[in-house]
Amino acid sequence: MLLAYLPILIWILLCAGLALAIVFLSHVLGRKRPTGAKLSPYECGITPVGDARSRFPIKFYIIAVVFLVFDIEAAFLYPWAVIYKKLALVGLLEMAVFMAVLLVGYLYLWKKRVFDWED
């Protein structure tokens, strides 16, 4: 039975070997001309100013988490919409409860002024 997986193992080893060979050859054969511009950190085309380890306001992290929550919501809505007719009224009620919980969370965040960008 394990012999059936041998072609997959060979394929994985070949791919990994090719990837390592490409990286090694680019390191050995590539030109090494370091300049100040090449060695400087790159941030969206803007010249970096100050220390990169500065603290960010917590608001950035909150917005990221809220985005993930509503992104996951969209990911759950699509499969539900595909099989909506099979679920009938029970599926509609379950999705209504799901959307109500998300709406309560959204209203809570709105009341806490999480979505306001100005200070």
What domains are defined for the chain?
A: 55-119 (1.20.58.1610)
Phi, psi of 56 (to 5 degrees): -100, 150
> Global pTM?
0.49
Q: What pLDDT does 8 receive?
A: 95
Taking only the tens place, the pLDDT of each residue in 38-94 is 777 776 777 767 776 777 778 888 888 888 888 888 888 888 889 888 888 998 999
Six token digits for residue 9: 């193992």
Return d(Cα 68, Cα 96) in angstroms, integer.
20
